[in-house]
Structure 1
Amino acid sequence: MKIKSYSLLLIILLFSGVACTDLEEVWYSAVVPETFFKTEQDVKAALYRSFTHARWYVQEDRWQLQEMTADQFAITTKGPHWYNGGENYRYHYHEWTVNDGWIWGTWRGTLMGVALALDSKQDLEKLDYSTVGLTEEDKASHVMQLQTLIAYFYLRGLDYFGGLPIFTSNEGENIPRSSDKETFDHIETLLLAAIPKLPKKVSGEKEEGALRQGAAAAMLAQLYFNAESYIGESRFSECATICQGIIDGDYGDYELDPTWFGPLGFYNNVSPEVIWSAPSEFNKLQYDWMWNRFYHYETYKYFGLDGGAWNGHHLQPSRKPTGEIYTEFKLGNPYEKFDDGDLRKKPYLYKGGGKYEGMFLVGDQISPYGTSYGTQEYKNEVISFVDMVATFKKVGDEYPDIASLPSTMADGEENTGVRLVKAPMPNLADESLRWGADNVIIRLAEVYYMLAECKLRAGEKQAAADLINDVRERNFEDGNDPNPVTAANLDEYRMLDEWGVEFLGEGRRRTDLIRWNKFVNDEWWDHEASDSQHLRRFPVPQNALSGNNALEQNPGYN
């Protein structure tokens, strides 16, 4: 994509923190779209550039801010590894600073996404599509997809930071932040205008990353769903209306997948449940960031693949070092929140031909493809991932018995924690499938759960339970759910448990906790409650403040 304006270049440099020298500038006395767009491929290249950024954006720093600050995942220090200057502790204990990298990466990535999509949108709006062999219908679809993408970046930025600088063009510099309400209204306006002009998904169509009506409608539902925490206004009724419309097919043809793995597996682009995803291409390493962070140095042997990993992330423990389940707090305990009969709770095993079972690496890491051995505390021993955090190898040396072992972020070992396999891995015989699963951003199950929560808040508990059970039943053999949701057992914590189980590791947990006022007010493993409400928003990073003196910091941050 050619950057044709000094203002856009300045925006991207400020947001990215890149220092450039020896720029070879090409100046045009008159810039028109025809200068750059000669063929259909040129148009698509401009369109796809913004979506490529979105594919990157839904991963890494954004995922970590959502999950590593909440009650389901941790990066414990394991011997000499993963202290990382205390960064992992700061996020877990809610002690982040204006200089922490994940926050800067998220601010930068959010506004860069806006700038890229806005630049392409403005160019394509000016282009006569007939000159490149495309139609006015193509133009409307492309322009409104980019408008929806702009709304998406603003929606995520509002969630992380509150009000953002609102760009309606890429001209101008040092734009101040708009208020939370102004940002909310801007997102709403963008989506309301885009929805009727986007195409609807037709039953049987593959999901390959294009934004359709269903995706834009779901984003609007998300905006209303979290309006109370964004702007202090309850908009649950509006959210419920949109969700019901999506389920009824008003915005395109979507259905719950009959299997739990359908929306997640190697061929999830054909799942009727997927509303919007970031496409992956086989062998293009779309999930290598998750591979590196979650898996042990020798997990590749268990998978029957090649290439080691970094042994960092894992589920927070459900059990004390003695093996007892934590009962002191209602949040957390992610692995034990899955019923024992849940098909997803099985250890992950690739079965061949693109089929697999289970979603976790837990217990002895022995599979038909190989055995993973320890390289640190458990050197030459079979690695057995445990749902506990403690330095068991220090019993008899530094600690007299297991009961005396502490369990904190500082007390991990190389086998600490259950590992999640949300994106399936094949073995070497089927290596062509590796990284083949698309990264799902919105799926119909989320719409069911949003509607269920709206009904719960409206006092319609049985209707809420029925919606959740419609999704739950596929997770059990022959649909025999041993612990269905009922009007009697559904409360705010059961609702959060259902969100946590169905969407474990899908980059949303912090938002759900904030919506229920649990993010700072409740406790979970090695995390104490506080009354520091400003922590519901991240600070504007120092790099951004230094680059734009019109920006104001969020309250509560020095």
Structure 2
Amino acid sequence: MKKYIAIASLSLILSVYGCTKLDQEFYSSVTPDTFFKSEKDIKAALFRPFTHAKWYIGEDRWRLQEYTADNFAVTTKGRHWYNGGENERYHYHKWTADDNWIWGSWRGTLMGVALALDTKNDLSKLDYTKFALTAERQAADLAQLDALIAFFYLRGLDFFGGMPIFESLEQESLPRNTDQELFDHIEKLLKAAIENLPVKKAGDKEEGAIRKAVPAAMLAQLYFNAESYIGKPMFEESRKLAQDIVNNVYGPYQLDTKWNGVHGFKNDASPEMIWSMPSEFKMLEYNWFYADFYHYNTRQFFNQDMGGNNGAHLTPSLKPTGSSYITDFELGSPFEKFDDGDLRKKSYVYEGTDQYTGMFIVGPHKTPEGDVIVGGEEYKDKPLSFVDQVGRFSEVGPGKKYSSINELPSKMSEGEENTGIRLVKVPIPNLANNTLRWGADMPVIRLSEIYFILAESNYRLGDKQQAADLFNAVRKRNFVNDVDPNPVTVANIDMYRILDEWSIEFIGEGRRRSDLIRWKAFTTEKWWDHSPSISAHLNRFPVPNQAIAGNSNLTQNPGY
């Protein structure tokens, strides 16, 4: 059976970068009835596109969502991280159709569609009864693939707008479909998947398979952001779906009672997890972020053997002088948006036997034994202390570039090795418990997101009290004895409070750009070292020039 993988005609070049990286194999000289010998073979084929999805959710897709928004930055740190101005281009909304993150995301989206279509083509031709499997099982397997295709297209719609809709591997060089056509295609796939998937059973661990609640949640996401995608608000539709999920119409889910239950080493057992990507030490590791976030010497902080590249950090809440940016900008200042009593705001400490506290690296950097960790650049052989500020503090003093802190500029080009607070959303054990490393699965959809979709949909439809109650139902677990010092109320709920709640709960989960766009804030608001980019065309990324070079039927997005 010849596999056309027609998406290669769009310059996906499946045999080069992506396939090598993802250990891609195409069985181009076999047919399904000769290759599939057991249920194990079916599972191997079924979950191959999920491996691509696990890669797809992180790295460049994450960067497009977070480094273009108000919560994260990669500042230039002396001789490090200028990267030809790449990080500044994204922060200042000056990306181009030649930028690699954009090309990788266009290509990765359609590659995911191709892999899922390929598997669907094979499994649809099998006689499942030969493997002692039912027709219902086959329908469920195919429905998982429909949901996965919808997942890739949903992300593609968010990034680029309309994309070519492939329903067969034999199609070549298709033009882009309209935003509405892609929206309708995603909706159709998800509704069909809901019909054919089983529900989660009480007590089941979340191990990556797609069950009925997953396409229901993705359909809620589609409707929730419909105004951004097709210019039509659909908050009534997102509210109904989200309410049904909360009411367990699509399976038994409930909010985790612990703030880190859905992120910890055993999060596959969290009742809140609707869909996750499995991760395990030396198997499908959820680890790509480590090098980006952590200092070269942070291995001593974790008591680990992994070095970092010391790039990414939270955008600053404080000016070099120590005064707050909160009075200057409604957006940004992510660390200070956490209440001081929030259990997550503590510095990360691994407590052994899969227990930990805190979610940030902030302040003096020390080993678990309390020994001082020193720097290797601006603070070579001096104690490291991570600050919620951006500025070249090492250049202040007698005979130096700046005579006082008051003169320090704070912008993307002015970082140092200790610049910015570092997020530890995924817990890291010490070497003594190294079998736990990367044991936390990657959350893709969790029930708290559905609560937030329901809350914001209620707000948009005029029910402020219900919106506040839903936000607070999630917030309370982050405080001792569930006592929230700053709950959402009818009096304080507005666009900015809602955006703050999304930021606090989902910080670092690769969604911030989309939330800002939904509120029409992505191109109109200012935040640290970012002026409004004004033009709404920047709500979409350009179609990469490499894609257009490989398919002349593709048209560019307006404004590029």
Q: TM-score range by the shorter chain?
A: over 0.9
- 1:77-96, Cα deviation, whole Å (9 max, x unpaired): 00000000000000000000
- Match of 2:305, as an amino acid? D
Distance 2:155 2:372 in 1: 41
8 Å CA contact 1:346–1:357 kept in 2: the answer is yes
- Conservation of the 8 A alpha-carbon contact between 2:73 and 2:312: yes
Given that residues 282 and 432 in structure 1 are in contact (C-alpha distance below 8 angstroms), is that contact kept between their aligned partners in structure 2? yes
What does residue range 517-528 of structure 1 map to in structure 2 within 5 Å? 517-528=520-531
Other-structure match for 1:11: 8
**CA contact under 8 A between 1:318 and 1:388: conserved in structure 2?**
yes
Spell out, residue by residue over 1:475-506, the C-alpha distance to the aligned partner (whole angstroms, 9 max, x if none): 00001111000000000000000000000000
In structure 2, the CA distance between the partners of 1:12 and 1:110, relative to structure 1 (3 Å rule), is farther
| Equivalent runs, 1:369-448 vs 2, <5 Å | 369=369, 371-396=372-397, 397-448=400-451
Corresponding residue of 2:331:
331
CA 1:38 to 1:25, structure 2 compared with 1: closer, same or farther past 3 Å?
closer
Structural mapping, 1:178-257, within 5 Å: 178-257=177-256
Partners of 1:479 and 1:8 in 2: CA distance: 52
The residue type equivalent to 1:7 in the other structure is Y
Write the distance in 2 (CA, Å) between the matches of 1:158 and 1:32: 33
Does the CA-based 8 Å contact 1:12-1:112 persist in structure 2?
Answer: no
Query: In 1, are the aligned partners of 2:223 and 2:235 still within 8 Å (CA)?
Result: yes
**Identity of matched residues, %:** 59
Match of 2:75 in 1: 76
Q: Which runs of 5+ in 1 are unaligned?
A: none
Which deviations, in whole Å up to 9, do the C-alpha atoms of 1:308-367 show, x marking residues without a partner?
A: 110000000000000111111100000000000000000000001100000000000114
What SS is found at the alignment partner of 2:149? Answer: helix
8 Å CA contact 1:301, 1:371 repeated in 2: no
Give how far 1:7 is off. 2.1
Alpha-carbon offset, residue 56 of structure 1: 0.6
- 1:137 Cα offset (Å): 2.2
- 1:371-416 Cα offsets, whole Å, 9 max, x none, are 4210000011121000000000111211121011000000000000
Amino acid at match of 1:448: Y
Deviations 1:268-313 (A, max 9, x none): 0000000000110223362332110000000010111112110000
Report the 3-state secondary structure (helix = DSSP H, G, I; strand = E; otherwise coil) of the residue aligned with 1:335: coil
C-alpha distance in structure 2 between counterparts of 1:19 and 1:109, whole Å: 13
Q: Secondary structure at the match of 1:144?
A: helix
Aligned-partner residue type, residue 493 of structure 2 = L
Compute the displacement of 1:134 (Å). 2.1
Matched with 2:360 is 360
Give the structure 1 partner of residue 127 of structure 2: 128
Distance 2:548 2:3 in 1: 21
2:278·2:284 contact (CA, 8 Å) conserved in 1?
no
* Alignment partners' CA distance in 1, 2:359 and 2:285: 18
Contact 2:10 2:173 in 1 (8 A): no
Pair 1:295 & 2:294 matched: yes
Q: For this pair of structures, how many residues does the alignment match?
A: 549
- Seen in structure 2, the aligned counterparts of structure 1 residues 13 and 160 have a Cα distance that, compared at 3 Å, is closer
CA deviation after TM superposition for structure 1 residue 6, in Å: 4.5
CA contact 2:263–2:443 (8 Å) conserved in 1: yes
Shift of 1:19: 6.1
Q: Are 1:109 and 2:112 an aligned pair?
A: no
SS for the counterpart of 1:258 is: coil
Aligned to 1:460: 463
For the 8 Å contact 1:37–1:132, the answer to whether it is kept is: no
Unpaired runs of 5+ in structure 2?
18-24
Residue identity opposite 2:375 in structure 1: G
What CA distance in whole angstroms lies between the structure 1 residues aligned with 2:16 and 2:314? 38
Out of 453, 467, 478, the residue aligned to residue 481 of structure 2 is: 478
Q: Deviations over 1:455-491 (max 9, x none)?
A: 1111111110000000000000001111000000000
> Alpha carbons of 1:25 and 1:75: their partners in 2 closer, same or farther (altered >3 Å)?
closer
> How far apart, in 1, do the equivalents of 2:90 and 2:14 lie?
22
Q: What letter matches 1:433 in structure 2?
A: L
Cα distance in structure 1, aligned partners of 2:191 and 2:314: 38
CA contact (8 A) 2:9 2:172 kept: no
**Equivalent-residue separation in structure 2 for 1:10 and 1:142 (angstroms):** 23
Partners in 1 of 2:323 and 2:28 — Cα distance?
69
1-side partners of 2:235 and 2:179: how far apart? 18
Contact 2:7 2:169 in 1 (8 A): no
Q: Which position in structure 1 is the counterpart of 2:21?
A: none
* Change in 2 beyond 3 A, CA 1:346/1:19: closer
8 Å CA contact 1:39, 1:133 repeated in 2: no
Report how far residue 193 of structure 1 moved.
1.0
Question: 1: CA distance between counterparts of 2:316 and 2:16?
Answer: 43
Does structure 1 conserve the Cα–Cα contact (< 8 Å) formed by 2:6 and 2:169?
no
Task: Give, in angstroms, the shift of residue 16 of structure 1.
Answer: 3.6
Amino acid at match of 1:15: L
AA in 2 matched with 1:526: D
Q: Name the SS for the 1:202 alignment partner.
A: coil
**2:71 is aligned with what amino acid?**
Q
CA shift for structure 1 position 27 = 7.5
Q: Which is worse superposed, 218-227 or 298-307?
A: 298-307
Q: 1-side partners of 2:247 and 2:521: how far apart?
A: 32
Which residue pairs with 1:118 in the alignment? 117
Q: Distance in 2 between matches of 1:499 and 1:172?
A: 40
Query: Which residue of structure 1 aligns with residue 91 of structure 2?
Result: 92
Alpha carbons 1:286, 1:435 under 8 Å: kept: yes
Is the CA contact 1:11–1:115 (under 8 Å) kept in the aligned structure 2? no
Kept in 2, the 8 Å contact 1:69–1:91? The answer is: yes
**Partner letter of residue 382 of structure 2?**
E
Which string of whole-angstrom CA distances, capped at 9 and with x for unpartnered residues, describes residues 141-169 of structure 1?
11000000000000000000000100111
SS at match of 2:445: strand
Asked if the contact 2:140/2:197 (under 8 Å) is kept, the reply is yes
What is the CA RMSD across the aligned residues, in angstroms? 1.6
SS in 2 for 1:556: coil
Asked whether the 8 Å contact 1:390–1:407 carries over to 2, the reply is yes
